[in-house]
Every structure is written in C-alpha cells, then in structure tokens.
Amino acid sequence: MKKVVLLALVAVLAVSVSFANGQQDDGKVVIGANIYNFADNFMNAAMKPVLESYAVEKGAEIQVVDSENQQAKLNDQVDVFITKGVDVLAINLVDPAAASTIIGKAKAAGIPLVLFNKEATEAGAMASYDKVWYVGTDSAESGMIQGQMMVADWKSNPDWDKNGDGKVQYVMLKGEPGHPDAEARTKYSVEAFKDAGIGVEQLALEADPNWSTQHGNDKMAAWLTSSFADKIELVICNNDAMGFGAINAMKAAGVRLPIYSVDALDQALTHIADGELDGTVLNDGANQAKATIDLAINAAMGKDVTAGTGWTLQTDGSKAVRVPYVAVTPENYQDF
C-alpha cells in the first residue's frame, strides 16, 4: 500500500518537474547543456560563464552539467534532460566519435540539438537528423595561424636553430587524441614550416585526453631531463593549459625555449606580457558560446537557426557555424 502511494507521488513529482522545466510552463525556452569536463581550463573559463549569462540575457533558462570526461555519464545526463522535457540540447561531446548516440537520443525525442566545441567525427552523423547543428571553429585554421607565427619568428631569430642544421627540432604537446582540434593543430602547425621550405624533426609528441596543465608540466619536465634535452629548439602546445605547464617546467629548470599555444586565455596574455610565451591563437569561446545559445533558442522556437543573428551556417554539409581564430603575438596581445 505504502509503495503504491509512493509510486503515485513519484509520478506526480515527475510531471510537475517536467512542467517546471518545460517551455509549456512560462514560455521560456529551457536549454539542457553540459561541459565535457569542468576541469578543462578553456571550457570552464572561456565557454561556461558565457553560455550561462548569455542564455539568461536572451530570456532562456539553462542548466549546465559536468560530464566529468565520461561519455557514459553524458549519455545518462542527456536521458535525464529529455525526461525533464527540456526544449533543446546544447552538448559538448566527451568523445567526438560518440555523436551518433547523442544524436539518436535527440532524434527519438524530437528535440533539437546543438553540438559545440567537439565536432562529430563519424561520417554521416550530422546528416542523420535534420535538427542537429554544430558550433565551433575551423580546426585547421588554428594550426595554420600558429604555424605562420612560428615560421615568421623562426626566420627572424636565426639563433633559434641551435644546432645550425636549418631544421626545427620540436616537441609537441598534442592534447586529446581523436579530437578534431588536436589532430588538425598537430598537422597544420608543422606543415607551415614545410610549406615555407623549412625542415622539421619531431623529437617527441605526447597526447593527453585532459589537455591539462599538469600533463604539460610533467611531459616538459621529463623532456628537459631526457637524452635529447639539449636538442629541443621549439615547444608546440595545442592549447594554453598544456603550455602553462610547459612554461612552469621550463622556469623550474631555468630554461627558456620558444613556445606557442592556442586559446588566448587571460593567463596566456600574462605569459606573453612577461616574455614567457611567444604566441597563442585566440579560440573565441565567448562567441562560440553565444552562437550555441542563439542557435539553440531559434531551434527550440522552430525558427531558422541563424534567423536574426550574425552567424552563418556552412554550406558544405557540416551544418556548422565556425568562429574565426586570431593570431595573438607580443605585438598585439594588448588588444585581447
């Protein structure tokens, strides 16, 4: 008997929760969102605060949950959002190769979905649902810009070629394997040297699913005590957070090697001002967050996703809004 009463109560609660959160209640669009890992510097500092404040500014309600770098956890969180009756999902995949699971859930529930920051890597995933879009960047562009900065500085600093062989002996902090940003930056930054007719030699490359400062510190510290320590001429970091760690390790070892990263977080600008970082690339998290919210609200209201916004969707089948990257150097960092 008690059990029956309890079950009835749970049912009533479930209905009232869905009404409290759903658009049917007060006309507000309710966005169910996540960050793949709150411990990620870029996501936490550059994207999360803007997702939250801009959603409110636009009259929507948003809930942002932490997926703690576990795709299984995100799958459950999406189920909960759907059960609660959110109007639209704004999802930062943990695993870029797991998009179809999330897209399948949104499609089955008939809820629009905006993926952001980690682009789906499975072929056909984006085409499998008419109400899924992506907001991010052109990953290759960050590598190209970083590469162009490094080539220009390499050319104007002949002493950087420590062994005088005309080639760049570099170490690379890659970030998350399989992440389109990590993969493209790894490729295009180095390709810029080859395009400029400058040879390259990779001394070491380390990947890290967390893109973290700790990893950058540990790997750089190890490289600086390795057999090739004296050969290193350039440190390429695929994000700022790992670069911060590498800078710490160099300071601890009393070494200052040319070093470049991507993101342009506030701390990176400070490192540039202090002469500890040679360049970074603005990864415009604030505008990516705004585009995510704009598209989500429009989608929830059944409008054309870019209606009334300044965003443009790619026409190449990626269904993506791509926010441009910008080079940040010791000459222009004060503008950021």
Q: Interface with ligand BGC includes 74 (CB under 6 A)?
A: no
Contact 246, 269 (CB under 8 A): no
Q: Which of 48, 105, 118, 131 binds ligand BGC (CB under 6 A)?
A: 118
Of 153-212, binders to ligand BGC (CB under 6 A) are 179, 181, 211
Q: Interface with ligand BGC includes 135 (CB under 6 A)?
A: no
Residue whose C-alpha is closest to residue 295's, from 310, 282, 284: 310
Token pair recorded at residue 85: 């009756």
CB count in 10 Å sphere of residue 121: 16
> CB-wise, 122 or 161, nearer to Ca ion?
161
Residue 118 binds which entry of ligand BGC, Ca ion, none, with Cβ cut-offs from 5 to 8 Å by kind?
Answer: ligand BGC
Q: Interface with ligand BGC includes 283 (CB under 6 A)?
A: yes
Residue whose C-alpha is closest to residue 284's, from 152, 135, 168, 68: 135
CB of 31 to ligand BGC, least distance (A): 19
Contact 168, 198 (CB under 8 A): yes
Token pair recorded at residue 129: 């649902």
Sign, CA torsion 211/214/219/220: positive
Q: What is the DSSP letter of 279?
A: B
CA distance 205 to 201: 11
CA distance 239 to 249: 16
Q: Interface with ligand BGC includes 298 (CB under 6 A)?
A: no
Of 232-251, binders to ligand BGC (CB under 6 A) are 239, 241
Q: Interface with ligand BGC includes 138 (CB under 6 A)?
A: no
Q: Interface with ligand BGC includes 66 (CB under 6 A)?
A: no
CA angle 284, 122, 38 (to 5 degrees): 40
Counts of helices then strands in the chain (DSSP H, E):
12, 12
CB of 133 to ligand BGC, least distance (A): 17
Q: Which of 29, 30, 31, 43 binds ligand BGC (CB under 6 A)?
A: 43
Instruction: Show the beta-strand stretches assigned E in 76-119.
Output: 88-91, 113-116
Q: Interface with ligand BGC includes 117 (CB under 6 A)?
A: yes
CB of 157 to Ca ion, least distance (A): 12
Q: Which of 21, 29, 32, 42 binds ligand BGC (CB under 6 A)?
A: 42
> CB-wise, 75 or 226, nearer to ligand BGC?
75
Contact 133, 320 (CB under 8 A): yes
Stretch that binds ligand BGC, among 37-45, 101-109, 193-201, 328-336 (CB under 6 A): 37-45
CB of 109 to ligand BGC, least distance (A): 25
Residues making contact with ligand BGC (CB under 6 A): 40, 42-43, 117-118, 179, 181, 211, 239, 241, 262-263, 283
